[in-house]
Structure 1
Amino acid sequence: MEKIKQRPIILVGAIAIIAVLVIVAIQLVAVAPSSGSPYARYESIPQERLSDGAFVLGDPEAPITVIEFADFACPHCQNYSTDIHQLIDEYVATGKARLEYRMFISGADPTYGPYTARLAQCAAELRDGAFWPAHDVLFEIGRAQGRFNQQTARTLADRLDLNYSELLNCAEDASQHQVDQRLGLQYNVQSTPTIMVRTGGSTPEFVTVGPQTYNRGPVPYALLGTIIESAQ
């Protein structure tokens, strides 16, 4: 009789173990690296840093620059990064627009928001052309895990073939995000992601369509595409 009574308990235990294994498997798949080199998307796209250190992607002769103020630890920025990838492929890689990325700490994660910004800067300082791949990897980690942790630097170093110790040392003092933060506050950026546009050498402006000004949150991709096309 005792054996009969134990069977439901054993069955429940087995189900619980299977459930745990399924969850672990899903998590492993979620954080698995995407196929191909993180550098591949950017091999043929010009990259530079402005005089204040900002990271810019695209042809210097492009008629319009899209400026994104974003935080790697911001969930909305993580989701919007898929639109930014499309923007890069459709408009930046084709020479129609440039993309300027400003690291604006939103407060979504007071510890890892600044830390991941420093890691991205240091990736570029340790290897030419590594900022934008670092940008992609960090957003990929954020989308998959929901938040960053102490393993983030190790993962980034492994994915980008960077020296882990040098990355950590550099991240102690990197400060580009502070420059970007001050600029964002100067332009009255209040949330992330925030998009501004600049044509030629003009002052950056928020996107305005009729009575609506997109000064908080992302600009819909279709609208951004229309603005870029109209600048050609």
Structure 2
Amino acid sequence: MSRILIAEDEPRIAAFVQKGLRANGFTTAIASDAQEALNMVLGSDFDLMLLDLGLPIKDGLTVLEELRGQGAKLPIIILTARDDIKDKVAGLESGADDYVTKPFSFEELLARIRLRLRSYQQDTTKGEETNLVVGNLLLDLRTRKVKIANQEIDLPAREFILLETFMRHPNQVMSREQLLDRVWGYDYDPGSNIVDVYVGYLRKKLGSKTIETVRGMGYRLRR
């Protein structure tokens, strides 16, 4: 499940886009100013960013330039009311992957998002290992299949993402806050017990000793 950051300071637009994306299976987070957007992209793993040019604190083009300058490679789609050709050219030359002018059709935005994600995922998987292996666990990132001791098991999307997160950090303690951020998104209720519930689901399918509880700290996938 792809994670999308919506950098938009207009609450009505941000809520509209977020609702549509979640209805289509995406995990989302919202940044309402430029500095928050920068911190969130550089501090977490997002697959795509929707960037409004008229953000508070810094202009969206500045955010774009800073992100590209610091090596952020995720697709960035500019989302703005500015329709002047010079603004479009400036955005694309600063490193944007696409440009959508407000007001826009959500269906068009969704199509552009899916196109950019497909291109990005194809680029990032070229020449890379598509399997994660930890102990007797194998997770295939392309087919979205999981095997334990060569026995294939079925995992719904959220459980798959949670297991993938653990397998990318074997033997590392992951706090509930980190797991909420990576699997459910920044704006999920931090007081929820959803992490514990889903760890329980994984334990039932993988074995009770596979994921260890580290008291007062979080969880760890044992090799």
TM-score band (shorter)? under 0.3
TM-score (norm 1): 0.24
Q: Select the structure with the greater relative contact order (CA < 8 A; seq sep ≥ 6).
A: 1
TM-score (norm 2): 0.25
Higher relative strand content:
2
Higher relative helix content:
1
